[in-house]
Amino acid sequence: MRIAVDAMGGDHAPDEIVRGALLYRASGGAAEIVLVGDPARLHASDGIGVEPATEVVEMGEHPGAALRRRGDTSIAVATRLVREGKADGVVSAGNTGATMAAALLILGRVRGIDRPALCGMLPTTKGGPACLLDAGATMDATAQNILQFARMASRFMERVHGVPSPSVGLLNVGEEPEKGGRIQLEAHELLRGAADIRFYGNVEGRDILHGTTDIVVTDGFTGNTVAKAMEGVLDVMTEGIRRDIFGGAGGKVAALVALPGIRRFRARMDYEPYVSAPLLGVNGVSVVTHGRARARMLKLAIDVAERSIASGLIAALGVAA
């Protein structure tokens, strides 16, 4: 097994990306790694090769335009390795839009899947992850698209996260089946009738973090805005705790006393083990991780790619079609 890693993508590329690859190998990872990027900044080592790519898609750049204008970006070169069978999957912490665009343009879609979906993986209070999708790949999703998202996420949670028969909730404004707009009403019916998923019913925004269901499906517009709004609350609360509660002299003393508790809290909020997820619906394993990934998160993203490949995820996604 061989996994291509976009060594130039992400806020801490290439150094932390390289460290992540080394960490993966040192921890006994089964796959060989190919680091894709500037050869002057990358070095081959045991089980780690280098594939040169001269360009990078920057974080703020328009993904489609960047890929059209410059053929030799690290994400395009890495994704082409997968298409050409020289790698079994690709991992990137770079511009998510560019990773998606490269996957769609270069790998194409899985047969039977009309539109791709991105998983937003979140920690839950009951422990373990929940998968919110689509987190931003397909804006104007139809009910049929949402059904396909539910199927793909079910196979993903079964195979990559070992959740047997994962439950699926439809994100809605209330639990009752008659809630929501046109798309939700239609999607509810389709999901209820699908034999290859375990449909729980409607869930609300506050259910996501409680892990009411293993999977929460919605269109890419709603999923993306909800995920970013949740991130915003998290940031504001974290900053408030740091500044208001533990800032100043008294606060610093309190922080020392509360240290074991702060560590407990952090451990509970640690989403690094599952934040990375493949873009579902493209014809190859293309794992997206956070732009702020450092070595540990990158290593864990490679783990996700490895499990996706080893479990035959891509072939399973087309089964329902």
Interface residues toward a copy of itself, by CB under 8 A:
62, 125, 136, 139-140, 171-173, 176, 180-182, 184, 204-210, 218-222, 224-237, 239-241, 244-248, 250-251, 253-255, 257-258, 260-262, 264-265, 268-269
Instruction: Dig out the tokens for 145 from the structure.
Output: 């698209």
Q: If 0-12 CB within 10 Å is exposed, 13-18 middle and 19+ buried, where does residue 303 land?
A: buried
- Secondary structure, 3-state, 75-141: HHHHHHHHHCCCCCEEEECCCHHHHHHHHHHHHCECCCCCCCEEEEEEECCCCCEEEEECCCCCCCC
- Our CB check for a copy of itself shows the closer of 136 and 284 to be 136
Q: How far apart are CA 46 and CA 59, in angstroms?
A: 30
- Quick one: which of 216, 218, 197 has its CA closest to 319? 197
Report, in Å, the least distance between residue 40 CB and a copy of itself. Answer: 33
43 versus 126: smaller Cβ distance to a copy of itself: 126
b/e 270-279 (16+ beta carbons within 10 angstroms → b): eebbbbbbbb
Nearer Cβ to a copy of itself, position 64 or 273? 64
The Cα 154–Cα 298 span in angstroms is 24
Measured from the CB atom, the residue of 194 and 230 that comes closer to a copy of itself is 230
When the beta carbons of 14 and 180 are compared against a copy of itself, the nearer one is 180
Pick 24 or 274: Cβ nearer a copy of itself: 274
The angle subtended at Cα 227 by Cα 222 and Cα 233, nearest 5°, is 125
Nearer Cβ to a copy of itself, position 262 or 310?
262
How many whole angstroms separate alpha carbon 189 and alpha carbon 126?
28
Strand order in the sheet with 215-217: 48-52, 32-37, 2-6, 89-92, 285-288, 277-280, 117-123, 129-133, 215-217, 167-171, 198-203
- 10 Å CB burial of residue 313 (0-12, 13-18, 19+) is buried
- Nearest approach, Cβ of 242 to a copy of itself (angstroms)? 10
Nearest to 124 by CA among 190, 63, 203: 203
The closest alpha carbon to 278, from 297, 299, 302, belongs to 302
Output the smallest distance, CB 171 to a copy of itself, in A.
6
Inter-residue contact 213 to 182 (CB < 8 Å): no
Tell the smallest beta-carbon distance from residue 272 to a copy of itself (Å).
Answer: 17
Q: Report in angstroms how near the CB of residue 184 gets to a copy of itself at its nearest.
A: 7
Pick 20 or 120: Cβ nearer a copy of itself: 120
Nearer to a copy of itself, 164 or 260 (CB): 260
Cβ of residue 1: shortest distance to a copy of itself, in angstroms? 34
